[in-house]
Amino acid sequence: MNANDSGRNKFIPISHEEMLQHGWEEVDIVLISGDAYVDHPSFGTAVIARVLQNRGFRIAIIAMPDYRNAGSIAVFGRPRLFFAVTSGNVDSMLTRYTAFKRLRSDDPYVPGGKAGCKPTRAVITYCNLIKQKYKEVPVIIGGIEASMRRLAHYDFWSNAVRRSILEDSRADLLVYGMGEAQIVDIAKRIKAGKPLTDIPGTVELTQQQPQQGSLLLPDEEGVLADKEKLLQLYRLFFKHYQNKRLSQPAGGRYLVHNPPAAVTQDKLDQVYDLPFMRKPHPSYKKAIPAFEMIRNSITAHRGCFSGCSFCSLGLHQGKKIVRRSPASIKREADNLSRDPDFKGHITDIGGPSANMYGAECKIDWRCNRESCTYPSLCSNLKINSHAWINLLAQVVRRPNIRHVTVGSGVRYDLFMNDDEEQNLDRLIAHHTSGQLKIAPEHTQAHVLRAMRKSPLVELKAFVRQFRDSAKRQDKQHYLLPYLMSCHPGSRLSDMIEMRNNLKWFGFIPEQVQAFIPLPMTLSSIIYYTGKDPLTGETFYVERDMNERRKQHDILLKSKRKRAKS
C-alpha cells in the first residue's frame, strides 16, 4: 500500500499518533504552517500536502507550532526528505498588525479566531526552530510570505528595506507562486540526490552568476542603502520577471530568480480533483472563521490581469488567467452537494475578480505589460463574461444545488465592455445574494493613477445600469463598494472629496480599507520612495500614522454620525 492509497478519505497526519495509525514509522516530508490545518483546496498547505501525497510521498503537517519551543517541530522526528515551511494563507505581519501598526485582536485562520498563535515573521521563526533541531535537513520555504519577500523589499513594519527572506531564513530554496509543480520537482530531486537548480518558479542562492540568459539586477547591498537603486531593481523586475531569469549579487553570492512555472487547465483540474475532506481537522473544537467564510465556495481560476499597484495577486499567481474546465468545477460542486451539512447554496464560483474566468489573450499572455487594463484596455485581451455566467447556470442545475451566487466580487467595468446588459441581467436575476461586491477603490484621478487603476467606464454608469436591472426584475439587490484610504497620492482633502463624490450613491459606503504597503508591490515602492519605478512619476505619500488615521476616519465618521441619529 503506497502513501496515496493509505491517505485517501483521511486527513493528513498532524500528530505522531495519527502517523502511526497510517502505518508509518516516519514521513518523507513535513509541512509546517502557521494556520490551522483545513483540508480544503482554498488552503495552500492542504493543496501542497495532497499534491505530494498523490505522487506517493508520505506527508505530515505541523499546524500552528509553538514558536517558543523548538521541540514543537519535532513531532514526527526527522523527515526522510525535507521540511516545507509557510506562514499560512496570509503574511504573518499582516496577520499580527493593522494598517496602523497595532496588534490585531483576531486571526481568522486559527480555531476560535484567536490572535497571537503565530509569530511575527513566521517563516524565519519556523526555519530557525528547524535549524536548532535538524541542521542538515533541507528546508524549502513558500506561500505568500516567502513569495512576496523573494527579493529585497520594503518592509512597512520596520520601515526599512530588507534583504530576501531566502537569506534571512537560511532555507535551501524559495518557491514563489502557488507551488504545486515546483514542490513535486523538488521532492523528486531531493529523493534522487539531484541539485535544486534552475527550477521554474523558484529563487535560489548560487556561488556564481548564471552564465546564460540571465539579466543582472542591481546588487542587493546597494538596493538596501539607496532608494534610486531600489527603483532601478523594481523597474527591471516588473518588466522582466515573467519571461527572464534574473540574478542579483548578494553578500558574495547570487540570488537567482527563475521565471514562473507554467500552469495549464489540465494541471489545475488535476489539483482540484484530489481527495480533499473539505473540512478542518476534527481535533479542533472551535470554528475556524476563514473556513466558515469559504466552506461552500469553489475556486474557478487563477491569476489577475489588472495589475493594480497595491495588490500582490498578480505577482504571486501571475497575470495569465488559467481557468478550470467546467467539468472539473461541476465535479467539485457534486462532491460539495453530497456533504450532509450542505444546504443547497454555493456561495461563490470565482476568484478575486470572479468575472475574469473566461478572459483570454490573443498572444497567450506573452508580453511585458504589467497590466492588461492600465492605462487602457489591451487590444489583445478578450473579455468573455459569458463563459463565467454560463458556468454558474450549468452548476445551479446540478442535483441538490438550489443557488449559486458570487461572493468574491466582480470587476464591474469588464461587464460594461462585454455585452454588459445581458450578462448583468443574468447575474442579478440568478446569481446575486442581496449584495454584489465591487471595488472602485477611489474616485480621484491622481490617486487611481498611483493605484494603476483606470476604470474602463464610469462608476455612475454601472450603478445606474445595475439599479435599473434590479428594478426591472423586482430584486432587492444592492452594490457593496470597497474603497481605500491612505494610498500614495491620497491626501485628507482627497478623502473628503471622495466622500462628497459618492453622495449620489444614496449612502456613504462603509467598506473602507486602510492601505498597507505589501512587500514587493508597486505601491510599497511608491510609499517608500515617493516614485512610481515604472514611470518615474512622483506622488504625495502620507506616512504619519495620525494623519493616515484621519484619512481613514473620513468615511467611518459618516457611519458613526448615522448611528447617533
> pLDDT tens-digit profile of 419-453?
656 888 999 999 999 899 999 999 999 999 999 99
pLDDT at 562: 43
Give the distance from CA 229 to its chain's centroid: 27
Q: Cα–Cα distance between 157 and 147 in angstroms, integer?
A: 18
> pLDDT tens-digit profile of 470-487?
999 999 999 999 999 999
pLDDT of 560 higher than 60? no
Strands (E) in 457-549, as ranges, are 478-485, 512-514
Q: Cα–Cα distance between 279 and 541 in angstroms, integer?
A: 43
What is the reported pTM? Answer: 0.94
Whole-number Cα distances in Å, 457 to 319, 420, 461, 496: 21, 11, 7, 23
Domain architecture of the chain: domains with CATH: 1-199+262-292 (3.40.50.2300), 296-564 (3.80.30.20)
Q: Cα–Cα distance between 307 and 377 in angstroms, integer?
A: 12
pLDDT of 299 higher than 60? yes
Q: Computed over its alpha carbons, how large is the radius of gyration of the chain?
A: 23
Among 405-419, 484-498, 542-556, name the one with the lowest average pLDDT.
405-419
> For the chain, first and last CA: distance in Å?
68
C-alpha grid cell for residue 76? 514526527
